[in-house]
Amino acid sequence: MKPLIGITGRRLGLGMVKGTSRRFQFQFINSYFSAFGDNVAAAGGIPVNLPFHADAEGVIDRLDGLIVTGGQDVHPSRWGGAARVDPAVDPRWDHDAPDLERDEYEAALIVAALQANLPILGVCRGHQLLNVALGGSLVEHLDEGRIVHASPNFAPDDGDDEHSVRFTPGSLAHTLYGPQRVVNSWHHQAVGRLGRGLTVMGTTADGVVEAIRLDDSPVMGVQWHPEWMASPDPVFDWLVAVSTTSAPSPAMRGGATC
C-alpha cells in the first residue's frame, strides 16, 4: 500500500483571494501549498490535507507520515519570545500574523506522531515548531549579512551560491545531500536552543541551523523549502520510503487483502 502522508495548512478568509464573490468573502478556506502534495505523490505516497479540527491523535493513528509545513512565525508565547503580538490581529485575514490555533494543532500532531514513532518532516516554520514542541527556543530575528536568509527570489528557486548548507558527516542529511548543498531560503527566524533529543545535521557558514534530527527516529526538520526547490529534493523520497516501512498492513487498517 502507498503510505498516507498528512500535510498541514492554514485557515484564511476567502475575501483574501482576489476575485472572490462579495457574497462569500467573509467565509473561510483551508489553504494548502499544492507543491507538497505534488512531491509526495511523485515520490509514491498519497498526500492527505489536514484541517485544524481533524483530531490529532485520531489522524496520526491513520497516517503513515507527517509534514508540518511553512508559514507565519510560531507565536512567541509558545517558546518565551519577546516580540509583542497584537491580539486584535486575526491571522485568518493577515497571513503574517501568528496563529495560536494553528500552533496548538500542529504541536498536538507532532506530539502524537512522536508517541507513535511516525515519520515527521518539518519544513521552515515546521522545522522551528518541531524544535519548540520538544522544549527548544528560536532566534527571534536574523540580521541579514553576507548570507541572505529572507531571500527576495521567487519560488521555485534553488537558492543563491552564498546560501550553502554544510552537513555533518554520517548524518541522515549527509546521506541525502552529500557534504553540502545550496538551498533556497525564505525565513527571518531560526532554531535557537535545541529541543530534547535533537541534533544539528546542517548549518550555513554564519551558524544558522538548517537541518535537525531527533536521535534514532524517522524525524527531521529543514529550514529551507524542499517543495519549492527548482531541482528535485530527495527528502520526499526519504519520507515516503520510511513511511512505507512503518505503515501498518492492510489487515491492521481494516482493509481487504488479495
The count of other CB atoms within 10 Å of the CB of residue 142 is 17
Cα angle 1, 105, 253; round to 5: 25
Reading the block at residue 140, the C-alpha cell is 527571534
153 near 160, Cβ under 8 Å? yes
DSSP string covering 170-191, please? Answer: TSHHHHHH-SEEE---B-S-EE
Domains of the chain: residue spans and CATH: 4-253 (3.40.50.880)
Predicted confidence (pLDDT) per residue in 73-127, tens digit: 999 999 999 999 999 999 999 999 999 999 999 999 999 999 999 999 999 999 9
For residue 257, pLDDT beyond 50:
no
Residue 245 scores a pLDDT above 90: no
Question: Known catalytic residue: 95?
Answer: no
pLDDT score, position 39: 98
For range 44-49, the mean pLDDT: 98
- Active-site residue, selected from the candidate residues 75, 106, 127, 227: 227
Quote the pLDDT of residue 144: 85
pLDDT of residue 253: 52
Concerning whether 127 is annotated as a catalytic residue, the answer is no
Averaged pLDDT for residues 173-202: 98
The pLDDT value recorded for residue 123 is 98
d(CA 255, CA 42): 24
DSSP per residue, the chain: -PPEEEEE-EEEEGGGSTT--GGGTTSEEEE--HHHHHHHHHTT-EEEEE-TTS-HHHHHHH-SEEEE---SPPPGGGTT------TT--TTT-TTS--HHHHHHHHHHHHHHHHTT--EEEETHHHHHHHHHTT--EES-PPP-SS-SB--PPSS----TT-EEEE-TTSHHHHHH-SEEE---B-S-EE-SPPTTEEEEEE-TT--EEEEEETTSSEEEESS-GGG-SS--THHHHHHHHHHHHPPPHHHHT----
The catalytic position among 75, 127, 187, 225 is 225
Per-residue pLDDT tens over the stretch 195-207:
999 999 999 999 9
Active site residue 227: yes
Neighbours of 96 (CB within 10 A): 9
Res. 146: pLDDT tops 80? yes
pTM of the model: 0.95
Residue 40 in this model has a pLDDT that exceeds 70? yes
Q: What is the pLDDT of residue 256?
A: 37
52-67 pLDDT, tens digit per residue, is 999 999 999 999 999 9
- Given the residues 75, 124, 127, 210, select the one marked as catalytic: 124
> How many Cβ atoms from other residues are within 10 Å of residue 256's Cβ?
7
Give the pLDDT confidence score for residue 247 in this predicted structure: 62
Pair 122, 68: CB distance under 8 Å: yes
